[in-house]
Structure 1
Amino acid sequence: MKILVTGGLGFIGSHTVVELQNEGFEVIVVDNLSNSSEKVLDGIFAITGKKIIFEKIDLREKASVQDLFKKYQDITGVIHFAASKAVGESVENPLLYYENNINALVYVMQEMQQLPKAHFIFSSSCTVYGQAEKMPIKEDSPVVPAFSPYGNTKQIGEEIIQDVAKVTAIDAILLRYFNPVGAHPSIAIGELPLGVPQNLIPFITQTAIGLREQLSVYGNDYPTQDGTAIRDYIHVVDLAKAHVIALQRLLAGKNTEKVEVFNLGTGKGSSVLEVITAFEKVSGKKLNYKIVGRREGDITEAYANTDKANTVLGWKATHSLEDALASAWKWEQKIRS
């Protein structure tokens, strides 16, 4: 079966491609390389020994998307990662996020709705919950007004998919994941942020290796145990496996609704200072960090209730925070060596 993976050379996309190949799927990867590198293809091949079809396409170009689906008329499923993903950047440049995250989704779904049967996995986010009132967050927690344009694009994306699925042959699963971290155990692929990292873990590893002078901790006045924000950090390999399981569920016709929703996390929240302490433990490195003011768009805490994914999908995160941090550190050392 041919599976189209958009944004397939990105952090989560590349790890999902590996897991798809491990399960025997033929993979077509589309990426515009705006936040990735063609070298990732070599990393994927080093792990699986299998070639993938790669098309360098910007999904904001409608004609290119049309040509793609004309070229590969036997696509049986789409896993859609292609999107900009940094909360802070989205606050500074909202139109970039609305164009990239919404237009690309619309153009892909316009082509998919012409297929006799289509299966769609959407890379969503816990940001759709905003600052949830209750922890851990369940799938039926209210979707509240977004704290950032990035979060809003995920909410709008989910609404588009719900509306389209009602009137087409598209079945979909929305995967709302928390904070993906780590690298493949082979250390052949990992997170490759271009420029200054927007996420905590690559900023930690770049600080530890000397690429960044200092790590900024945004706020220590949150109503948490140590005053820093709490997140649910999930190993990227666990996350990638969930995408394959979700796809297999749709392909087997086991879904009970046209659009299903699952949280993907560990079910455990860790504060920024706890993550720093854990990293120092696994790496043996002392981090130079400084407390600065809060960052616009950030919330106090978010961690998942994963009962639904555990029982319905039969999926569970197996890696610890320390596992993820250790792999992220090995990856950082490799790419700087």
Structure 2
Amino acid sequence: MNILVTGGAGYIGSHTCVELLKAGHEVIVFDNFCNSSPESVARVQKIAGKPLSLVKGDIRNREQLESVLREFKCEAVIHFAGLKAVGESVEQPLMYYDNNVVGTVRLLEAMEATGVKTIVFSSSATVYGDPQYLPLNESHPLSASNPYGRSKIVIEDMLRDYYRAHPDWKIVLLRYFNPVGAHDSGLIGEDPGGIPNNLMPYVAQVAVGRREKLSIWGGDYPTPDGTGVRDFIHVVDLANGHLAALESLTEPQCFAVNLGTGIGYSVLDVVKAYEKASGKPVPYTIAGRRPGDIASCYADPAEARRKLGWEAKLGLDAMCADSWRWQQMNPNGFKS
């Protein structure tokens, strides 16, 4: 199958491209590199031992998207392209709605114009907001505490509305929990620009000596050790979830599914596991809670097993070991 992967040079996109190529698909990456590097695409091809096609472009450019879909005879789209920093979304909400929501509108218009009717969308567990119950299943009410999460809800609603109007489409909404780790080759991994927004890349930079210490936001949550609990999922498991989702679309349908492990690890669990994997100390201080943070969040992954035949296989030790290998081999990310 010829698959357009928007945002395919990014962290999750690049790992998914590896799995798509290994499964025998033709991959066309469409990326503007605002938060990624062309080097990741070169490394994807090295890992897979197969070529892919790369087009530099912005998903808000409908004409270019139409041209690419036609030129490469695309049969499906995996849609990763989007801005993803929660704090930045609070400071610049219009930029997030423009890029994430308007960009998806342009993509759907281009798909409609070219007759491409299959899409796997990169959503997020942030659509659940502050959990009313745990573990989180797909029936949990949708709510978001920031513009990033709300942009994902708007896109999910838009795709559900589109399916009602066009019931011959095939649509999956994948709600990720907390992606971490890296490919076990050490060639691709998470390469945040500036100060990392997410826990594990920050821990990795402390372990490798790029940063002095970790600030843990909140040590007084109602959790076993007082620090926040999250469902961390290995990025390779997540990538295989996209492949499973694509292969599940044998007939027209539209549904949402969680991609998580169902296991909650605390911030201190991650710190201890990373110290074990790296053999390095990870000094930290406990700071005050951040506004908008929640105590615990983890998935009920049963629907993914039922509908996709998929489940996470890699645990926290593998997540930390693979992250550390990537960090050691690429101390400055793709600029190394």
Q: What's the TM-score once normalised by structure 1's chain length?
A: 0.95
**Structure 2 portions without partners, runs of 5+:** none
Percent of aligned positions that are identical:
47
Quote the residue 1:233 is aligned against. Answer: 232
Distance 2:112 2:293 in 1: 36
1:5 Cα deviation from its structure 2 partner: 0.3
**Structure 1 portions without partners, runs of 5+:** none
Distance 1:309 1:263 in 2: 6
Quote the residue 1:319 is aligned against. Answer: 314
Quote the residue 2:223 is aligned against. Answer: 224
1:164 Cα deviation from its structure 2 partner: 1.0
Quote the residue 2:283 is aligned against. Answer: 288
Quote the residue 1:87 is aligned against. Answer: 86
Structure 1 residues 117 and 92, CA, compared in 2 at 3 Å: closer, same or farther?
Answer: closer
Quote the residue 1:55 is aligned against. Answer: 55
Which residue of 246, 260, 278 maps to 1:265?
260
Distance 1:184 1:13 in 2: 12
Which residues of 2 match residues 200-215 of structure 1 at below 5 A? Answer: 200-215=199-214
Letter matched to residue 255 of structure 2? E
Instruction: Render the CA deviation track for 1:34-76: whole Å, top value 9, x for unaligned.
Output: 111011122111111111100010112333333333433x211
The answer on whether the counterparts of 1:88 and 1:297 sit within 8 Å (CA) in structure 2 is: no
Distance 1:115 1:170 in 2: 13
Instruction: Render the CA deviation track for 1:21-43: whole Å, top value 9, x for unaligned.
Output: 01110000011111110111221
Instruction: Render the CA deviation track for 1:217-272: whole Å, top value 9, x for unaligned.
Output: 1111222222211110000000000101110111x32x6xx211111101000111
Distance 1:62 1:77 in 2: 16
- Is 2:124 aligned against 1:129? no
1:316 Cα deviation from its structure 2 partner: 0.8
Quote the residue 2:160 is aligned against. Answer: 162
Quote the residue 2:33 is aligned against. Answer: 33
The answer on whether the counterparts of 1:182 and 1:325 sit within 8 Å (CA) in structure 2 is: yes
1:293 Cα deviation from its structure 2 partner: 2.1
1:170 Cα deviation from its structure 2 partner: 2.3
Which residue of 133, 144, 150 maps to 2:148?
150
Letter matched to residue 203 of structure 1? Y
The answer on whether the counterparts of 1:91 and 1:297 sit within 8 Å (CA) in structure 2 is: no
Secondary structure of the corresponding residue to residue 85 of structure 1: coil
Distance 1:8 1:266 in 2: 23
Quote the residue 1:68 is aligned against. Answer: 68
Secondary structure of the corresponding residue to residue 113 of structure 2: coil
Distance 1:118 1:94 in 2: 30
Greater shift after overlay, 274-283 or 150-159?
274-283
The answer on whether the counterparts of 2:237 and 2:314 sit within 8 Å (CA) in structure 1 is: yes
Distance 1:216 1:115 in 2: 49
The answer on whether the counterparts of 2:227 and 2:267 sit within 8 Å (CA) in structure 1 is: yes
Which residues of 2 match residues 246-265 of structure 1 at below 5 A? Answer: 246-250=245-249, 252-253=250-251, 258-265=253-260
Distance 1:116 1:43 in 2: 32
Count of residue correspondences: 331
Greater shift after overlay, 54-63 or 135-144?
54-63
Provide the alpha-carbon RMSD of the alignment: 1.4
